[in-house]
Amino acid sequence: MAFIEAVTQPKERFSLLLLDPGEIYFEDFSVFYYPPSPSEDEAIKRKQKGRLKICSKSVLFDPSDIQYPILRFPLRDVVKVESYDPQSLFSRLDSKNKVLQIVSNAVIGMKEGNVIEPFDFKREKSVKHMFSLNYNTVDSCVPLMCQLHRASTLSLADQSNMIRAIVLSRQSRVKFNTSWLEDIYEKIILESQGDHITPLVTNPGRIMLTCSRLYFQPFNNVDPNPVTKIKLSAIKRVIKRRFLLQQVGLEIYHGYDDACLYLAMKTEEERNILYNELVKQTDVHLEDMGTASMTLKWQNGVISNFDYLLYLNTMADRSINDLTQYPVFPWVIADYTSPVLDLESPSTFRDLSKPIGALNQERLASLKERAAEMPGPKFLYGSHYSTPGYVLFYLSRVAPDYVLCLQNGRFDHPDRMFNSVAETWNNCLNSATDFKELILEFYQPQYRDFLTNANAINFGIKQDGRSVAAVELPPWAKDPHDFISKNREALECDYVSKNLHHWIDLIFGYKQCGKEADEADNLFYYLTYEGAVDLESIKDPNERASLEVQIMEFGQTPKQLFTSPHPQRFSKVAAPVLETGQATGDSSLLPAEEPVSQSSPKIEVPIFLETMANASDMDDISIEKKWKSLEKNMPYLEHRLHKEAITDVKFSADLKSVFSVSQDTMLKMYSLEDQSQLRSVNMSTMALSCCFVMPNGKTIIVGCWDNNIYLYSVEYGRVVGTALAHDDAVSAIQWQNDTLLSASWDSTVKVWHCPLQTQNAGSSNPELMGELDHDSGVSCLHCNPVDVSTVVCGTQEGGLFIWDTSSCYVVSQHQVHTGAVGTAQFSSDGLRVISCGDDNFLNILDVQTGTSIFSMHMDSKIRCLCWNGSILLMGDEMGTLSLWDMNKVYLINKWDKVHEGAVTCVDISEDGQVVSGGEDRKVLVWRPK
């Protein structure tokens, strides 16, 4: 549920928003209030029934009749609190210790007639306000009020400490009311104290975790429900949160509408204990957050730009329950004057590679000059791009209560409010103090009411004589719905998709802080960054209180998610069609297991796999049915001609045969048509490790443990070329465009000239052209199918090396595994590398940025894989074949125990046939229907 939806729900007239931010409400009493009057009789005649509410910094009177205002008496302005001493023996207010008198220099009137408007501040010396308690005596409330009154006379830090001591003393005496347990047989797992966090409000209470439910019981009665109950089986997600730059928060999503309970504990240890106990309960089944796969889904166009940004906000501790860390979204449109919005023109868009403050070069130069003269720690921008004030600047029309709470009971000057989109954009471009970005509501048409003054709130009169009404929209927008829909369309358009990764680098990535932020002109005040200050280590209470206020009001930079450049989105995707009422907000962060995707790029893949690479061609049910037909048919054929484990299998060029090599030193050729062995060649006295079928189908290249490479002619039935390639066993070979590459455990990859046209009956040994040196043995290699001079090599120490073979230069290297890399392959577009290792991890690396965009710990070690288009076929050491859709990142199907022991090699033919080899000496072939 979005914040804008939550704040528009009907509420009681009194709320914690009528208090100072962070103020604590303790308890209330049924009373009659006697307004200041010339005589006692007059006061009695004007008496009002209501509730007297005692809070940490004020006392409030909430009349039952909403025509009267709620009265708030700030304790700092109270002269004294005492039992009423009547001047006359015949006083009608003397009722045996039942009358309370508050003498105050100020009173604040709020919500008279239940109308939201600026508070009415009245200051008058020593005015007496009397209250008669209906069911209690003065002694039941005056001691607490006197303690709080005394605290109000102290410094800010001392006041906070004294209030904290009072709160601790009172709360320690309150136990969880077990009568609220839904089932008397529930086993209590944990009981603790914590705060319920909502925007600008912190409400303390007791937390109870049982074997079947989570309960929160506030210490006061401000909520209509005396206790919040959440079934553990309804909990979808539990996310650790940073609250006021401290790791003490826990956000719990539950229920069909994805309701949310945000709790903050006293310490990180207490938070972690609750989290650990909660997630290990048998009734808790959390949705997979898909942390490793969301970037990959976004790159492939499976999820929208909006959903991906919302996901990143969530991962970076941004929440609609915390205005200091509200989700941040970019301005993407820079044209607010044209009658028609042209999404094909680059000039329509803001430069996403720069922060807002760097878009105006003249202003940036001035800011840099100022920063150069200031003492350290230096910063460029004196305000942030996301603060509670900025969030409510945009939402003032739908959240006026929150504005009054944050701004001490007053609205902003009418001319400084959010009156015009174009004017706000111009301020962000030109003002020396305005660098704010947007909020998620700008991209959700169903929440368009924040652009209108539907509740007719009186915000005042502007200098031009007009009252504050709806926000003025650009000429290209017909109405608020149209404005937000076009904003969303712009966010999802091709230009933004191609450049959004630059903005992600600035807000969530490697340009967020440090040297890179300085170079990118993206440096903010140091207190906005995570880890900038440890509040727990600060002993001076005044300093700590001051820092807490600054953190609350100044804004917080999101948690850094990426330390290297963020990968770019691959393809052009269509903007989503938006309708009013479409489910958005946090519920959209997690697509269903098989989400509805936008159009994916056309990828040239085998006929049988083509439907899987393009989500629009066939639905997932049909894909699974197609692959399950393989399982039902069982293998088309199998043979066990080898005497040792199979090390590699390949289809012949004409798809009529299968070649296999084994540790038994033999190369076998098996006819798929005749289902008989055609060739059996003893290549060496040592095991064969790998093979490659040349495109003409006439020559097979074989790697061997005897350090040699053999070229075998199928046409003439003999070895036509040999090369002593390495000082240790050949582990992998690849051929592409007359270039042969061989990898070895001797830590090298050799580059050979091996032309296709010379492979005939005559002897033709490969000619060495270069050598690629590594720090450890090379276990696998693969050529980039697009850039033929690029190759990836995996080593026995877990490294991936990307080389330019034309210059023998290392383009990049990455430590992606903790054990040996078993296999590594480029994607068909050459932009990614997939690898698996002895550490049981499957990893996908973005080649351009070196960022790991997917990482998953598998149940068992992956021994081989074949990546074709979006489809990934894997074999593991348990004999299982798995089929994944790597666009949507979900398992399509798997076949258990197809081999007895590990699946050691797989291959997919152009017509969709699959061949696998295993430690059980079997070669299996499947054919689709």
Residue indicated by tokens 């205005």:
323
Place of tokens 């490793």: 292
Neighbour tally for 155: CB within 10 Å: 11
Domain boundary among 588, 613, 641: 588
**Phi and psi based region of residue 547 (left: phi greater than 0; alpha: psi -120 to 50; beta: remaining):** alpha
Identify whether 838 is part of a domain. yes
What average pLDDT does this structure show over 27-46? Answer: 88
d(CA 388, CA 405): 11
For residue 601, what pLDDT band results from cuts at 50, 70 and 90? Answer: very low
Q: How confident is the model at residue 167 (pLDDT cuts 50, 70, 90)?
A: confident
On whether both 420 and 531 belong to a single domain, the answer is yes
Q: Both 104 and 221 in a single domain? A: no
Cβ 232 vs Cβ 39: under 8 Å: no
Distance CA 676, CA 672 (A): 7
Greatest alpha-carbon span in the chain: 130
Distance of CA 235 to the CA centre of its chain: 18
Question: Which of 109, 136, 171 is at the close of a domain?
Answer: 171
| 382, part of any domain | no
CA 203 to chain centre: 26
**Residues near 107 by Cβ (< 8 Å), separated by ≥ 6?**
71, 72, 73, 122, 127, 129
Domain identity same for 442 and 520: yes
Give the contacts of 410 (CB within 8 A, at least 6 positions apart).
118, 119, 404
Sign of CA dihedral 79, 81, 85, 90: positive
Q: Both 269 and 307 in a single domain?
A: no
Which pLDDT belongs to residue 910? 78
Q: How confident is the model at residue 608 (pLDDT cuts 50, 70, 90)?
A: very low
For residue 537, give the CATH number of its domain.
1.10.1540.10
- 203: CB partners within 8 A, 6+ apart: 16, 24, 25, 195, 196, 218, 220, 222, 223
**What b-and-e string marks burial along 195-215, b requiring 16 or more CB atoms within 10 Å of the CB?**
bbbbbbbbbbbbbbbbebbbb
Is residue 391 one of the residues assigned to a domain?
Answer: no
Is there a single domain that holds both residue 796 and residue 807? Answer: yes
562, 529: one domain: yes
With respect to residue 915, please indicate whether it lies within any of the assigned structural domains: yes
**Poorest-pLDDT segment among 58-62, 374-378, 802-806:** 374-378
Average pLDDT over residues 490-518: 95
Give the range of the structural domain holding residue 301, as residue numbers without chain letter. Answer: 297-312+330-375+414-588
Q: Are residues 127 and 23 in the same domain?
A: yes
pLDDT at 715 over 90: no
Beta pairing partners, 52: 29, 61
pTM for the model stands at: 0.84
194 shares its domain with 150: no
Say which range, 323-327, 499-503, 581-585, 730-734, has the weakest mean pLDDT.
581-585
Domain boundary pick from 142, 171, 200? 171
- Within 10 A of 519 (CB to CB), how many other CB atoms are there? 10
DSSP-assigned letter for residue 409:
T
pLDDT of residue 592: 29
Confidence of residue 541 (pLDDT cuts 50, 70, 90): low
- What integer is the mean pLDDT of 745-765? 77
Q: What percent of the chain has pLDDT over 70?
A: 88
pLDDT greater at residue 427 or residue 912: 427
Residue 198 lies in a domain: yes
Reported as a pLDDT band with limits 50, 70 and 90, residue 9 is low
Pairwise CA distance, residues 772 & 779, whole Å? 14
Residue type, 789: S
Q: Residue 387 contacts by C-beta under 8 Å, 6 or more apart in sequence?
A: 324, 436, 553, 554, 555
The first and second tokens of residue 574, run together, are 């269509």
CATH of the domain at 781: 2.130.10.10
Q: What is the pLDDT of residue 628?
A: 53
Q: What is the pLDDT of residue 611?
A: 29
User: 848 vs 689, which has greater pLDDT?
Assistant: 689
Residue 772 in contact with residue 711, Cβ under 8 Å? no
Average pLDDT of the segment spanning 601-611:
28
**For residue 617, pLDDT beyond 50:** no
From residue 881, how far is each of 634, 649, 870, 907 by CA, in Å? 13, 15, 16, 12
What's the Cα-to-Cα distance from 149 to each of 22, 102, 353, 360, rounded to whole Å?
Answer: 17, 11, 53, 51
632 versus 507: which is more confidently predicted?
Answer: 507
Are 496 and 488 in contact by the 8 Å Cβ rule? The answer is no
Residue 659 domain-assigned (yes or no): no
3-state secondary structure of 376: coil
Residue 137 included in any domain? yes
Closest CA to 781 of 743, 724, 828, 832: 743
Rounded CA gap, 227 and 216, in Å?
6
CB atoms within 10 A of CB 288: 11
Token pair of 165, please?
């001591």
User: 578-587 pLDDT, tens per residue?
Assistant: 433 333 333 3
CA-wise closest residue to 128 among 83, 168, 90: 83
Q: What is the mean pLDDT of residues 389-414?
A: 94
H helix intervals, 700-828: none
Same structural domain for residues 905 and 849?
A: no
Q: Quick one: which H or E segment has residue 403?
A: helix 400-406
Dihedral sign of CA atoms 434, 438, 439, 445 in order: positive
pLDDT-wise least confident of 90-104, 106-120, 666-680, 866-880: 90-104
3-state secondary structure 698-723: CEEEEEECCCEEEEEECCCCEEEEEE
Residues 813 and 838 reside in one and the same domain? yes
The CA dihedral of 219, 221, 222, 228, to the nearest 10 degrees, is 70
pLDDT at 246: 82
Please tell me the chain's helix, strand, coil percentages from 3-state DSSP, rounded to the nearest 5.
Answer: 25, 30, 45
Same domain, 157 and 269: no
Q: Are residues 341 and 484 in the same domain?
A: yes
| Averaged confidence pLDDT in the chain | 86
Mean pLDDT, residues 708-715: 93
CATH code of the domain covering residue 221: 2.30.29.30
* Distance between CA atoms of residues 676 and 564, nearest Å: 53
User: Which pLDDT tens digit goes with each residue over 446-465?
Assistant: 999 999 999 899 999 999 99
What's the residue count for the chain?
Answer: 929
How many structural domains compose the chain? 5
Distance CA 641, CA 647 (A): 13
548 within domain boundaries: yes
**Cβ(683)–Cβ(719) below 8 Å:** yes
Q: What is the pLDDT of residue 467?
A: 93
Contact 661, 918 (CB under 8 A): no
DSSP string, 99-149: EEEEEEEEEEEE-GGG-----EEEEEEEEEEEEEESSS-GGGTHHHHHHHH
pLDDT digits (tens, 9 = 90+) for 824-854: 999 988 999 999 999 999 999 999 888 888 8
CATH of the domain at 906: 2.40.10.480
Computed on alpha carbons and rounded to an integer, the radius of gyration of the chain in Å comes to 35
- At residue 121, the pLDDT reads 95
* pLDDT for the residue 37: 85
**Which residues contact residue 515 at a Cβ distance below 8 angstroms, ignoring those fewer than 6 apart?**
none
Amino acid found at 324 = T
